[in-house]
Structure 1
Amino acid sequence: MFRNFSSQLAAATTGKEEAKKVMNPNLRSDIYTVVDQARVWISGSRGQPGDGVSYGAILSTIQKHFPSVKLGLESVGHVESEVAAIVGGITNMIMEYSMWESMSGGMAMRTWVDGLVAAYGKATLGPKKDAIAKGITRGINQNTDVTLMTKEFTARIQIISALKSGESCRFVLLEYIPDPNYIPASS
């Protein structure tokens, strides 16, 4: 886990990997497309991790932006490896997008995280759900390219999380606190 992280940081500081100069105009729409497809795929509603074929459309969209994301023959049909490749690829797409539009990238990341949590919650219990959890962790820790992360993006994610948490709290408070003008009927 840390070996991959440290090699990516070393590559970033030495300048071995050159950043792209222009954002792909389809990146934003592709992100939301694969987020929706992955959410349905991980939950098992349309295809399922481990069947070896249902991730094909998601992977091909990721490969338009990151051609190096591949799934070897030994990984096909292996739940953890399939989920790790998809999760890492989508996370990389969002971080790539955040390099140009950090606030929109932060909102896309929040959408991705919420979708991932919801999809994992809908997955059936058992060894497959455990493998999905391991795949999500591996996709984030090992398959995500940390050199794509910017300081602005990190701040935007925190702002969006705080705003969303505040919105949730406001909804809960308004739902459960009675109207101050309400007068109970006398018995």
Structure 2
Amino acid sequence: MFRQLSNQLAAAAKGTDAPKAMAPTLRSDIYTAIDQTKSWIIGGMGQAGDGMSYSSILATIQKHFPDTKMGLENIGSAENEVSVVVCGVTNMILEMSKWEGMAGGMAMRTWSDALVEAHGRLPAGSRKDGAGRGIVRGISQNTNITLMTKEFTAKIQIISSLKSVCSRVYGVGTADARQAEAVLSSRLI
């Protein structure tokens, strides 16, 4: 009986298609995507909502998540474009955290600081509001949390970085920040 169970487990383990190691370019692609996204949100290389300037960022994300696409319903809306891009880069960082927990935590901190800085540099108005909603939605609603590391310390660091983006974009203690943090917390439990 034990032999049969052990053979079944061994066969199941061999049949999985999960990668055995982190993609060699993942780390450099993450930092490239962080720099590209920050510049894009600010308006340095096109601007969010123009319907086309996100293509180089999306190409970087698609190297690791080929199914990531900018649907027709998202094109031309700063909030929707930012949401898809932020989700893709966040997923890349969470993927790295599976293999290297602390490196993923540090990358997430860099990413959250870059998002907050980019949002802060936008002039007040509807574009800033749309980008802010897109950033928070990309993190709190669209991100694939199952990609996150199982290492306790790194996981706590990643979660606190993600939650800090919500409060730093919307303002500490605001109703929008509390709601976004609650949505993120409910997905993490």
- Same topology, TM > 0.5: yes
> Contact 1:102–1:156 at 8 Å: present in 2 too?
no
* Partner residue in 1 for 2:149: 150
* Partner residue in 1 for 2:53: 54
Which consecutive unaligned segments of at least 5 residues does structure 1 have? 1-16, 161-187
Which runs of structure 2 are paired with 1:167-178 in the superposition (5 Å)?
A: none
Distance in 2 of aligned mates of 1:140 and 1:99? 18
Task: Give the structure with higher Rg (CA).
Answer: 1
Aligned residues: 144
Distance in 2 of aligned mates of 1:106 and 1:98? 7
3-state SS of paired residue (1:65): coil
* Partner residue in 2 for 1:14: none
Amino acid at match of 1:150: T
Q: 1:156 to 1:127 in 2, by over 3 A?
A: closer
3-state SS of paired residue (1:151): coil
3-state SS of paired residue (1:53): coil
Q: Supply the RMSD in Å over aligned alpha carbons.
A: 2.0
TM-score, scaled to structure 2: 0.71
- Sequence identity, in percent? 57
Which runs of structure 2 are paired with 1:4-43 in the superposition (5 Å)?
A: 19-43=18-42
Q: 1:121 to 1:28 in 2, by over 3 A?
A: same
Amino acid at match of 2:23: N
* Partner residue in 1 for 2:94: 95
3-state SS of paired residue (2:110): helix
TM-score, scaled to structure 1: 0.72
Distance in 2 of aligned mates of 1:49 and 1:28? 24
**Of 40-49 and 147-156, the range deviating more from structure 2:** 147-156
**Higher RCO (CA-CA < 8 Å; seq separation 6+):** 1
Deviation at 1:20, TM superposition (A): 2.9
Greater percentage in helix? 2
Amino acid at match of 1:154: K
4+ aligned runs moved over 4 Å, structure 1: 156-160
Distance in 1 of aligned mates of 2:120 and 2:157? 26
* Partner residue in 2 for 1:104: 103
> Contact 2:98–2:150 at 8 Å: present in 1 too?
no
Distance in 2 of aligned mates of 1:130 and 1:48? 14
Distance in 2 of aligned mates of 1:38 and 1:143? 17
> Contact 2:91–2:143 at 8 Å: present in 1 too?
yes
Distance in 1 of aligned mates of 2:123 and 2:27? 30
Q: 1:142 to 1:155 in 2, by over 3 A?
A: closer
